[in-house]
Amino acid sequence: MSLGGTGGDKPSEMEVATAAARAAGEVLSGFFGTDYTVRSKESYNLVSDADVQAERAIVEVIRQTYPEHAILGEEEAKGDTTADDLWVIDPLDGTNNFVHAIPHFAVSIAYCHRGAAQCGVVFNPIRNDWYTAMRGQGAQVNGQPARATSAEKLTEVLVGLGFYYDRGTMMEATLSAMRELFQAHVHGIRRMGTASLDLCQVGCGMYGAFFEYELAPWDFAAGVLFVEEAGGRVSDCRGNKLPLARTSLLASNGLLHGEVQKIVGKNCP
């Protein structure tokens, strides 16, 4: 896929991110619902041919315009997170959904400068849903402005959560936090299995908050920027600044952050 900037200029990072997401989406759409090879790290932690080929498609598009930039991905790209210019990519977030033909998965791409995301794209190719954000310029869903909910009480919202692959201590901690959130009378709990889209659902006002006790940078880099540009707040589950590394994560509309953080922080393993 070739890219051309405006008037012959080099394409912007957002233009490249969008083109790369579209290229990966074409790969995933071609695999979705067909027979393909699935490998497993455990019976519940899957990687497919689709993941690998989609990541290669993303890398190819980025390299056309920014060959000097580092790229960090889930499968093969192992770029340096301390690089001044870094792309953080997840070619298929929600592999388990994808493998079971559930059309709730996404391509996630963020461009970071000196550790801070400058633009991000989360794309569900089956639904053709585009979630985009640029630092200081807001967040959009399918070209329309996105905004976190203005709810001020847990009794007014749904809360999303994710389960890391660990099915021991971390699973029990997540279940304990979920129990306390129910006791706080949230409208309900949702576990959809695609962290990048969960974060976008916070930014779109569908969830008042979302948390997970372990996520990798490629799971959250683009989604975190989307939440922040939609007026929300993101930290780790103990309320600290989020690192560009494996971490717990809490995203909220901002107004509910402290209240949710008390619950998820207390249970954080």
Q: Is there a single domain that holds both residue 44 and residue 170?
A: no
More confident residue, 262 or 79: 262
- Residue 219 · residue 235 · CB < 8 Å: no
Closest to 41 measured CA to CA, from 54, 51, 30: 51
**CATH number of the domain bearing residue 52:** 3.30.540.10
Query: What pLDDT score was predicted for residue 40?
Result: 59
* Number of structural domains the chain divides into: 2
Q: Is there a single domain that holds both residue 26 and residue 134?
A: yes
- Residue 261 pLDDT > 50, yes or no? yes
The vertex-85 CA angle with 81 and 90, nearest 5°, equals 60
Residue 196 lies in a domain: yes
Other CB atoms within 10 A of residue 149 CB: 24
- Residue 3 pLDDT > 70, yes or no? no
Residue 160 lies in a domain: yes
Residue 1 lies in a domain: no
Give pLDDT tens digits for 92-143: 999 889 989 999 999 999 999 999 999 999 999 999 999 999 999 999 999 9
Q: Is there a single domain that holds both residue 110 and residue 139?
A: yes
Q: Is there a single domain that holds both residue 125 and residue 16?
A: yes
Mean pLDDT of the region 145-166 = 95
Q: Is there a single domain that holds both residue 18 and residue 127?
A: yes
Residues 6+ apart with CB under 8 A from 186: 154, 155, 157, 158, 159, 208
Give pLDDT tens digits for 16-46: 999 999 999 999 999 998 776 665 555 444 5
Residue 187 lies in a domain: yes
- Residue 68 · residue 87 · CB < 8 Å: no
- Residue 88 pLDDT > 60, yes or no? yes
Q: Is there a single domain that holds both residue 123 and residue 164?
A: no
Residue 72 lies in a domain: yes
More confident residue, 81 or 19: 19
Residue 186 lies in a domain: yes
Residue 65: what are its φ and ψ, rounded to 5°? Answer: -105, -35
| Residues 47-80 as b or e (16 or more Cβ within 10 Å = b) | bbebbbbbbbbbbebbeebbeebbbbbbbebebe
Domain end marker among 116, 145, 174: 145
Q: Tell me the two tokens of residue 83.
A: 């690089």
Q: Is there a single domain that holds both residue 73 and residue 160?
A: no
Domain end marker among 123, 145, 167: 145
For all residues of the chain together, what is the average pLDDT?
92
Query: What pLDDT score was predicted for residue 164?
Result: 80
Query: What pLDDT score was predicted for residue 269?
Result: 92
Residue 49 lies in a domain: yes
Q: Is there a single domain that holds both residue 111 and residue 191?
A: no
Query: What pLDDT score was predicted for residue 45?
Result: 46
More confident residue, 75 or 201: 201
Residue 251: what are its φ and ψ, rounded to 5°? Answer: -120, 145
Residue % of the chain over a pLDDT of 70: 92
Q: Is there a single domain that holds both residue 141 and residue 215?
A: no
Residue 59 lies in a domain: yes
What secondary structure does DSSP assign to the chain, as a single string? -----GGGPPPPHHHHHHHHHHHHHHHHHHHTTS---EEEEETTEEEEHHHHHHHHHHHHHHHHH-TTSEEEESSS-B--TTSSEEEEEEEEE-HHHHHTT-S--EEEEEEEETTEEEEEEEEETTTTEEEEEETTTEEEETTEE-------SGGG-EEEEE--S--SHHHHHHHHHHHHHHHTT-SEEE--S-HHHHHHHHHTTS-SEEEEEEE-HHHHHHHHHHHHHTT-EEE-TTSPPPPSSSEEEEEE-STTHHHHHHHHHHH--
Other CB atoms within 10 A of residue 152 CB: 13
Q: Is there a single domain that holds both residue 136 and residue 30?
A: yes
**CATH number of the domain bearing residue 214:** 3.40.190.80
Q: Is there a single domain that holds both residue 165 and residue 73?
A: no
- Residue 171 pLDDT > 80, yes or no? yes
Domain end marker among 145, 173, 208: 145
Domain of 160 in residue numbering reads as 154-267
Query: What pLDDT score was predicted for residue 130?
Result: 98
Q: Is there a single domain that holds both residue 51 and residue 86?
A: yes
